Structure 1
Amino acid sequence: MFKPISLYIGLRYTRARRSNHFISFIALVSMIGLTLGVAVLITVLSVMNGFDRELKNRVLGMVPQATVSSTAILTDWPVLANKIKQHEHVAGVAPFTQMQGMLTAQGQVSGIMVTGIEPEYEKQVSIIHENMVEGSLEKLKKGEFGIVLGKQMADSLGLSLNDNVTLVLPEATPSPAGVVPRFKRFKIVGIYSIGAEVESTLGYIALNDAATLLRLPDGAQGIRMKLDDIFLAPQVSRDIVKDLPPNFYATDWTYTHGNLFSAIQMEKAMVSLLLFLIVLVAAFNIVSSLVMVVTDKKSDIAILRTLGASPATITKIFMVQGTVIGVVGTVAGAILGIAFASSISGLIEWLNNAFGWHLFDAYFINYLPSYLRWQDVTLIVCVSLVLSFLATIYPALRAAKIQPAEALRYE
């Protein structure tokens, strides 16, 4: 006979068709519940990880991770940039000058944050050069007044490469006709696309052109930094600015996008907790299923006891049966969750294109990202298996306590 006997009988009970169909239904529901719980948990965590990754790679790849600025224009910014780059956590530096304004073209108007940059330095701190769809960042040259726009901004204004656009600055300029805003005509020399909301708000011009527009000496307002660990941004920026004169001050991404990142982390924790309850409920269903199986198999248990089976053997039989339900449900859920998490981005994109939906236009990225982390899959599978195993203990111990004489009295 197949050894050990507890494993053999436990597997037989799992495969056997029961006379009580309700018990079989409860066991099936337990397995399906566990499968769905594990699959949904893996999928949702992958989506939340996707949003987290896209925030770090795309949004924080465009906006400053940390900056050191001055109340006066920095005409010798290369000296400061080289000093900042000596910090152990600073991976790249670039000068910048920022201004707010409005772009107007073909009767359309849109607000914009314009940043003056040095293209060669900007590559150290930004991903914009990797996401150019038309033109080139290198075409931003002093005195040529070129501008690089995001694809969303260009599309909203009906613009394309080499078109002209007018930048309106809020600074007033006296004239014979009165006080009027300052205007400057720019030529579009590049269009970038990163699939995020910042496309509609950020534009880039040459650093010296920005100084000319603001009527300042050639130079920069501050130094932008890229760090090897974005979570060190507040500490690094403070460490750098404390060794500089009082007219310098520091800012970092936690001031501008910290709330968004915190919201994603909070949502990830809460959604994980809620979905974990699905797995917990499925485990409780295993308890109820095994309790009813034990009640249904009292006579079988009594016969096994009279044939010499020990209470430990009876306990193992029903623990095997419950564990099999947990393993099958967990493995099926893991396979389903991995498959769904790997394809959900393409599926949602197909639905958007097929039905003309715009499900994610209101978010900071306009598509559904998914990033499958094997650490999460391993954790979910292990927790599910442990819960399934723990759910078998009470029914198995209850089965071991059945007395043969009492169970066979009315048989």
Structure 2
Amino acid sequence: MFRPLSVFIGLRYTAAKRRNHFISFISLVSMLGLILGVMVLITVLSVMNGFDRELRERILGMVPHAVVESPEGMEDWRDVARVAESNPMVTGVAPFSRAEGMLTGRGEVQGALINGVDPEHEPDVSIIQKHMNNGSLSDLQAGEFGIILGEALARRLGIRMGDRVTVVLPEASVSPAGVLPRMKRFTLVGTFSVGAELDSSYTLVHYKDAGKLLRLGDKAQGVRIQVEELFQAPRVANQIAQSLPGGYRTMNWTQTHGNLFQAIQMEKTMIGLLLMFIVAVAAFNIVSALVMVVTDKKADIAILRTMGMTPAGIMAVFIIQGGVIGVGGTLIGTGLGVLLALNISSVIEWIESVLSMQFLSADVYFISYLPSELQLNDVLIVGGAGLAMSLLATIYPAWRASRVQPAEALRYE
């Protein structure tokens, strides 16, 4: 006979056809609920990881990981760049200048962030070149006052390639005609589209043209730094600043966009906890199924007890039986969840083609597809939690079974 005896009886009870079909139905529902809960949780967490990745690559691919800047501007920005490049964590360095202002064109006015860049070094620290719809970074030539706009911003202003747009800064200039805002006419030489809010507020000009607009001459305001590991940006920026003489200040992405990514992480955590309750409900359905099994098998339990099986052995029988449901449901759910997470984009595309509709419109969202990034930690946490809860749910019914008194159970048999 198969040993140990508790495992043999537990597996036999699981596979045997029951007189009470309702108990079989409850057991099946418990397993299906566990499969569905684990599968959905892994898929949703993978989709949220995908959105987080897209935001990180698109937004932090455009905004600086870290900057070292000077209020008076940098004539020696190349010296600062050499110091920054000596840090092993730095992957790219480029000069920059920036200002907040307004753009006017064809009677429309829009607020914008004006960024002065060096077309030669900007691809080292930005993904902008990969997302150009029209023109190129090389079209920004010093002295020609060309400008590159986000696609949404150009559309709101109603301007096209070659049109003129006026940049207005909030700083006033004193002239014989009185106090006038500082302004300069630029020519649209390119447009880009990276998604999110950057397309409606981000502009690029040559840093020397920006220096003339900001009265810095040929100086740059600072040096933009790209680092290999995002979360090392604050430490790397501080190390570079300490290697330079006084008068420089640093800023990093955690100060400018940290709240956005903290909100995404908190949202992922909260949704994960809420969906984990679905797994918990499905797991604890095993309790009701096993309680009914124990009630149905009281006579069998009494016979086993009279034959010498210990209460611990009786507990093991029903823990094995409930564990098969829980472990089986969790493993199947994990497998299906991994499979769905890896193919969710294709599944959504197929559903969109069948229904002739688009769930994510590029005009509304920064992407037109459902991203997914499966992470091993998520799979292990969800699978482990499902197994733990399903096994925990077997303890009470198994304890009830071990407390059955043979004389009471066999009295009316």
Normalising by structure 2, we get a TM-score of 0.88
Structure 2, unaligned runs of 5 or more: none
Mapped contact 2:151–2:200 kept (Cα < 8 A): yes
Q: Which of 398, 401, 409 in structure 2 is aligned with 1:399?
A: 401
SS in structure 1 of the partner of residue 372 of structure 2? coil
Distance 1:149 1:88, change over 3 A: same
Give the % identical residues.
Answer: 56
Within the alignment, does 1:33 sit opposite 2:33 as a pair? yes
The equivalent of 2:376 in structure 1 is 374
SS in structure 2 of the partner of residue 337 of structure 1? helix
Question: Following TM superposition, by how much is the alpha carbon of 1:148 offset from its aligned partner in structure 2, in angstroms?
Answer: 1.9
SS in structure 1 of the partner of residue 61 of structure 2? helix
Distance 1:347 1:203, change over 3 A: farther
SS in structure 2 of the partner of residue 119 of structure 1? coil
The equivalent of 1:19 in structure 2 is 19
Which of 5-14 and 247-256 deviates more?
5-14
The equivalent of 1:277 in structure 2 is 277
RMSD, aligned α-carbons: 2.9
Question: Following TM superposition, by how much is the alpha carbon of 1:159 offset from its aligned partner in structure 2, in angstroms?
Answer: 3.9
Mapped contact 1:166–1:186 kept (Cα < 8 A): yes
Q: Which of 404, 410, 413 in structure 2 is aligned with 1:408?
A: 410
Within the alignment, does 1:191 sit opposite 2:171 as a pair? no
Which of 151-160 and 84-93 deviates more?
151-160
Cα offsets for 1:118-140 (capped at 9, x unmatched) = 12211221111222233221221
SS in structure 2 of the partner of residue 376 of structure 1? helix
Equivalent residue letter for 1:394: Y
The equivalent of 1:335 in structure 2 is 335
Which of 398-407 and 86-95 deviates more?
398-407
Mapped contact 1:315–1:397 kept (Cα < 8 A): yes
Mapped contact 1:149–1:202 kept (Cα < 8 A): yes
Structure 1, unaligned runs of 5 or more: none
Equivalent residue letter for 1:205: V
Question: Following TM superposition, by how much is the alpha carbon of 1:155 offset from its aligned partner in structure 2, in angstroms?
Answer: 3.0
Which of 295-304 and 163-172 deviates more?
163-172
Distance 1:247 1:364, change over 3 A: farther
Q: How does 1:91-110 map to 2 (within 5 A)?
A: 91-110=91-110
Question: Following TM superposition, by how much is the alpha carbon of 1:141 offset from its aligned partner in structure 2, in angstroms?
Answer: 1.5
Q: Distance in 1 between matches of 2:346 and 2:196?
A: 17
The equivalent of 2:206 in structure 1 is 206
Q: Distance in 1 between matches of 2:299 and 2:194?
A: 68
Question: Following TM superposition, by how much is the alpha carbon of 1:60 offset from its aligned partner in structure 2, in angstroms?
Answer: 1.1
Q: Distance in 1 between matches of 2:262 and 2:201?
A: 22
Q: Distance in 1 between matches of 2:59 and 2:403?
A: 62
Equivalent residue letter for 1:240: I
Which of 180-189 and 295-304 deviates more?
180-189
Equivalent residue letter for 1:376: D
Question: Following TM superposition, by how much is the alpha carbon of 1:98 offset from its aligned partner in structure 2, in angstroms?
Answer: 0.7
The equivalent of 1:65 in structure 2 is 65
Q: Distance in 1 between matches of 2:155 and 2:344?
A: 27
Question: Following TM superposition, by how much is the alpha carbon of 1:324 offset from its aligned partner in structure 2, in angstroms?
Answer: 1.5
Question: Following TM superposition, by how much is the alpha carbon of 1:258 offset from its aligned partner in structure 2, in angstroms?
Answer: 1.1
Distance 1:158 1:11, change over 3 A: farther
Within the alignment, does 1:75 sit opposite 2:84 as a pair? no
Count of matched residue pairs: 411
Distance 1:365 1:111, change over 3 A: farther
Mapped contact 1:360–1:368 kept (Cα < 8 A): no
Question: Following TM superposition, by how much is the alpha carbon of 1:113 offset from its aligned partner in structure 2, in angstroms?
Answer: 0.7
Q: Distance in 2 between matches of 1:312 and 1:18?
A: 24
Distance 1:360 1:410, change over 3 A: farther
Cα offsets for 1:92-115 (capped at 9, x unmatched) = 211001122222233332211111
Q: Distance in 1 between matches of 2:178 and 2:352?
A: 54
Question: Following TM superposition, by how much is the alpha carbon of 1:373 offset from its aligned partner in structure 2, in angstroms?
Answer: 0.9
Question: Following TM superposition, by how much is the alpha carbon of 1:347 offset from its aligned partner in structure 2, in angstroms?
Answer: 5.9
Distance 1:148 1:360, change over 3 A: closer
SS in structure 2 of the partner of residue 61 of structure 1? coil
Q: How does 1:8-407 map to 2 (within 5 A)?
A: 8-174=8-174, 178-307=178-307, 309=309, 311-345=311-345, 354-355=356-357, 368-407=370-409
Distance 1:198 1:354, change over 3 A: farther
Q: Distance in 2 between matches of 1:155 and 1:336?
A: 44
Distance 1:216 1:343, change over 3 A: same
